[in-house]
Amino acid sequence: MATIRQVAKHAGVSIATVSRVINNSPAVTDEVRAKVLESVNSCGYVPNVGRRTTSFIALVYSGPSSLGSPYDAALLEGMVQAMDLTDLDLVILNPSRDKRPDESYTQFFLRKGVRGAILRSTVEGRQICRTIADEKFPAMGIGDHFEHPTLAFAYADSKTTSRQAIEHLITLGHQRIAFAANEHEDGDHVDRYAAYCEALDGAGIGIDRSIVYRVPARRVNGAQLLRNVMSVPKPPTAIYVTDPPIAMGLINEARNLGMDIPRDLSVVGFDDNDSRNFVFPKMTAVCQDARQLGHEAFIELARAIEAGNGERCQHRISSSWFEINNSTGPPPVKSVGILPDGTRLEAVGP
Amino acid sequence: MATIRQVAKHAGVSIATVSRVINNSPAVTDEVRAKVLESVNSCGYVPNVGRRTTSFIALVYSGPSSLGSPYDAALLEGMVQAMDLTDLDLVILNPSRDKRPDESYTQFFLRKGVRGAILRSTVEGRQICRTIADEKFPAMGIGDHFEHPTLAFAYADSKTTSRQAIEHLITLGHQRIAFAANEHEDGDHVDRYAAYCEALDGAGIGIDRSIVYRVPARRVNGAQLLRNVMSVPKPPTAIYVTDPPIAMGLINEARNLGMDIPRDLSVVGFDDNDSRNFVFPKMTAVCQDARQLGHEAFIELARAIEAGNGERCQHRISSSWFEINNSTGPPPVKSVGILPDGTRLEAVGP
DNA sequence: CTGAAAGCGCTTACAG
DNA sequence: CTGAAAGCGCTTACAG
């Protein structure tokens, strides 16, 4: 466990200067500050008092908390299970609340006694993730993933399985397949949309942008989505909904409108945990285990911290899988439509 | 912010002795240790290094984590929202991992830099809650509630609304009403069962213990429960299921067995957050807002900590409400039964 | 078992 | 802007 003295030696400055950098005193040149912060991270410095040592891993979120979502809840459950296998504790931090504008993230984390960060990333928050990674503070990204030279992510690849899902629909005979995703585009959704396009392309089906939807990832938006989808001039016969709450909301709304899934509409959903089992009919879905993602992010971060010497985190990429259940079937013989007011239409001819 | 010196003065000992107590040195008489720990809590002592002060609120759970459950996820979301209104951070602690057998909970929390604890209580963990409260460490209980002279709880009263729920079923004409609850009995479930008994009693209906069920609070157990309920010699026509995942599992399984809810069976469920909207038909339910409970527990604890001087937490009791949706209706004209293999039975006469 | 005192990690006026 | 040194909170061998 490095002390301020070792950091000072490593950086070739006095302990007073190291202290000033840690406490963000303005009386330090940018050059010296950068050199010291570099040493802080490469020595794995962490403040301690007597025998007591702060050993926290931070779950960092930015913007409004989504911790109640099934995805985040499962992530957290996995992290807490992993926590029990280490001697690190998990603290939840929101830098936008009390990170001072003039301090770096490393300084912010040191002030909190944090030794590594799990970044619950979103597309909006990518810049924060990049900044933290650029400071070389130990970190794992989760939730969103993107190219970065030093930031590692824990995620499940859902591109191949998304392609399987669309091919499954095509094999069943569907030609008009809609796509819906969270309005917040992230690495996973980019992959899923790419898979959708490639699968349609491979089958010689053109992409119709009018049945590609972006909606907020909430149940009520899934309900509204169904009404929108079914009221276009030529409604799709199948849809791939890449977010669990949207898929659940859509399936329940179908029953409210008197539709039968999969007879009137085939639905491939997405499941981060267990959602597919909570709707009727049990949802055909691309599935990932968010609990495991949280677990792996925590363990990998703990490993890098314990190793010390500025050891980097590695990517932890797990597998998703495509599970055929009861919400998909052949396309309807008669095409079905629903007017905005809920009136049900059935075409007379094919 | 009290230092070790003030605690020493308050307790009438040297700073060395205070330090020994905090670090749990065996070389202190029980009498002195008790006196010092008393002073530590009444001075609101918290260890600090230089300007840095640890200001954590701990979410304490014991036994296997249930943080992924909808109830716990909603609690946590509420706590994190509340956190943003204070300058305290939330750390998740599992004392069974690293609390040393010979240290008190106060010592354990000081070692972690924790100033107050939210105790995610269960019936199994009541003794831990009592011990922490007896040490007068600032704490709020949540999840389970029971009588204790110094421990305050955040909970929603669900007794009155549970009684409304049963009376609603009786008014609809039901005479044979089953009851199902989490196998882990806690203060809330005691209330709900008492309400069930009182409402039946008030209507002159006897309690039949053979249709009172205790099952694990998981979806699969809700599915199994339905099979059990419907295969008793004279199946109930309605059931009050006091846990969300059990209620959801039961309602979905009914569709798998070809039953129609509420035609064949009326179901009153329980909802901590939003579950009632995720099943079809939308569930008639006693509802509470777990997000709000988490929020209030955090705010009340933060208030007591900021007030200092050993200020006590107060109970934060909120309201539940009974919401009539689509899973309840009049009893079936013909009584319905399901054999263990799934065969559906309908009685010929009344 | 307890306190006075030396010592550690860190911070901060003071000197240059 | 930086370091040597005094000082704070805390811990711990040492003395009794």
Could you tell me whether strands A336-338 and A344-346 are parallel, antiparallel, or unpaired per DSSP bridges?
antiparallel
CA distance A145 to chain B (A): 23
At residue A350, the pLDDT reads 38
Give the residue among B289, B294, B293 at the shortest CA–CA distance from B276: B289
Tell me which CATH homologous superfamily contains domain B51-155+293-318: Response regulator (3.40.50.2300)
At residue B3, the pLDDT reads 80
Q: What is the dihedral of CA A161, A164, A166, A171, to 10 degrees?
A: -160
Helix (H) / strand (E) element for B90: namely: strand B89-93
At residue B347, the pLDDT reads 54
At residue B155, the pLDDT reads 95
* Alpha-carbon dihedral sign for residues A163, A164, A165, A167: positive
At residue A33, the pLDDT reads 82
Task: Work out the pLDDT band at A348, boundaries 50, 70, 90.
Answer: very low
Please answer whether residues B183 and B154 qualify as being in contact, where contact means their C-beta atoms are separated by less than 8 angstroms: no
Nucleotide at minimal C1' distance from the A49 CA: C9
Nucleotide at minimal C1' distance from the A29 CA: D1
Spatial CB neighbours of B205, under 8 Å, sequence gap ≥ 6: B170, B175, B177
The CATH code belonging to domain A1-51 is 1.10.260.40
For range B147-168, the mean pLDDT = 96
Contact across the interface for A80 and B89, Cβ inside 8 Å: no
Domain with CATH 3.40.50.2300 in chain B: 51-155+293-318, 159-289+323-346
Residue A44: pLDDT above 80?
no
Q: Which CATH architecture has domain A159-289+323-343?
A: 3-Layer(aba) Sandwich (3.40)
Nucleotide at minimal C1' distance from the B27 CA: C1
B147 touches strand C (CB under 7 A): no
For range B237-245, the mean pLDDT = 96
The chain-wide mean pLDDT, for chain A, equals 89
For B95, name the nearest residue in chain A, comparing CA atoms only: A84
Please answer whether residues A178 and A212 qualify as being in contact, where contact means their C-beta atoms are separated by less than 8 angstroms: yes
Percent of chain B with pLDDT over 70: 91
Q: What is the pLDDT of residues A230-286, one digit of tens each?
A: 999 999 999 999 999 999 999 999 988 999 999 999 999 999 999 999 898 999 999
Domain with CATH 1.10.260.40 in chain A: 1-51
Task: Work out the pLDDT band at B325, boundaries 50, 70, 90.
Answer: very high
How many angstroms separate the CA of A2 from the C1' of C15? 30
Residue A289: pLDDT above 90?
yes
Q: State the Rg of chain B over Cα.
A: 24
Q: What is the pLDDT of residues B51-108, one digit of tens each?
A: 456 688 999 987 666 788 889 999 999 999 999 999 889 999 999 888 888 788 988 8
Distance from C-alpha of A269 to C-alpha of A255, rounded to nearest angstrom: 16
| Pick among A59, A75, A257, A278 to test the B interface (most B CBs inside 10 A) | A278
Q: Which CATH architecture has domain B1-45?
A: Orthogonal Bundle (1.10)
A47 touches strand C (CB under 7 A): yes
Domain with CATH 3.40.50.2300 in chain A: 159-289+323-343
Q: Tokens standing for A132?
A: 């933290």
For A272, name the nearest residue in chain B, comparing CA atoms only: B68
Distance from C-alpha of A167 to C-alpha of B84, rounded to nearest angstrom: 45
B54 touches strand D (CB under 7 A): no
* Phi, psi values for residue B232, rounded to 5°: -75, 160
At residue A338, the pLDDT reads 64
Q: What is the pLDDT of residues A170-210, one digit of tens each?
A: 999 999 999 999 998 888 899 999 999 999 999 999 999 99
What residues in B contact A219, CB-CB < 8 Å?
274, 277-278
Task: Work out the pLDDT band at A48, boundaries 50, 70, 90.
Answer: low
Distance from C-alpha of A167 to C-alpha of A172, rounded to nearest angstrom: 8
The chain-wide mean pLDDT, for chain B, equals 88
At residue A18, the pLDDT reads 86
Residue B340: pLDDT above 70?
no
Fold of B159-289+323-346: Rossmann fold (3.40.50)
Closest Cβ opposite residue B90 in set A72, A83, A92: A92
Please answer whether residues B267 and B238 qualify as being in contact, where contact means their C-beta atoms are separated by less than 8 angstroms: yes
Lowest-confidence segment of A212-226, B112-126, B143-157, B206-220 by average pLDDT: B112-126
Q: What is the pLDDT of residues B276-308, one digit of tens each?
A: 998 989 999 999 999 999 999 999 999 998 887
Q: Tokens standing for A178?
A: 């809609």
Number of H helices, E strands in chain B: 12, 16
Distance from C-alpha of A230 to C-alpha of A213, rounded to nearest angstrom: 13
Q: Which chain D positions come under 7 Å from a protein C-beta?
A: 1-5, 7-13
Q: What is the pLDDT of residues A133-183, one digit of tens each?
A: 998 889 999 988 999 999 999 999 999 999 999 999 999 999 999 999 999
Closest Cβ opposite residue B73 in set A67, A97, A98: A67
Distance from C-alpha of A138 to C-alpha of A152, rounded to nearest angstrom: 10
